[in-house]
Amino acid sequence: MSRTTPGYAVAYLRDVDFNDKIVAYLERIDATMEEYGGRFVVHGGQLHPLEGEWPGALVVIEFPSTQAALDWYASPAYQEILPLRTENTHSIATVVDGVPTGYRATDRLERMPAG
């Protein structure tokens, strides 16, 4: 039986030029996520660096699946507003697979190559 695991869109933003275009992006992003079941989990909260330097803001958006996150990012609605962010920040973004409920670190051993 296959369990659907959440997918996450993660962005690390530095040097944000907080201008009218960023405001427009923030005003419009929620509507782009609705169809795909996205919700903010982290949105620029206070960072508490424990290792290394983190001179920026972190954003994490949870989706019901990795495919939903990828579909949202590729959607015409999000692609329309994406330049509002990319042209006014230095940032990196990715989509990453989540883990199922009850996941334990040792579960990773099952997916490790033998050797």
- How confident is the model over 34-72, as pLDDT tens digits? 999 999 999 999 999 999 999 999 999 999 999 999 999
Q: Beta-carbon neighbour count of residue 36 at 10 Å?
A: 22
For the chain, how many residues are written? 115
pTM over 0.85, yes/no? yes
User: What integer pLDDT is reported at residue 1 of this predicted model?
Assistant: 33
Q: Where are the domains of the chain?
A: 7-47+54-99
Please give the single-letter amino acid code of residue 104.
R
What's the CATH number for 7-47+54-99? 3.30.70.100
Cβ proximity of 60 and 42 under 8 Å: yes
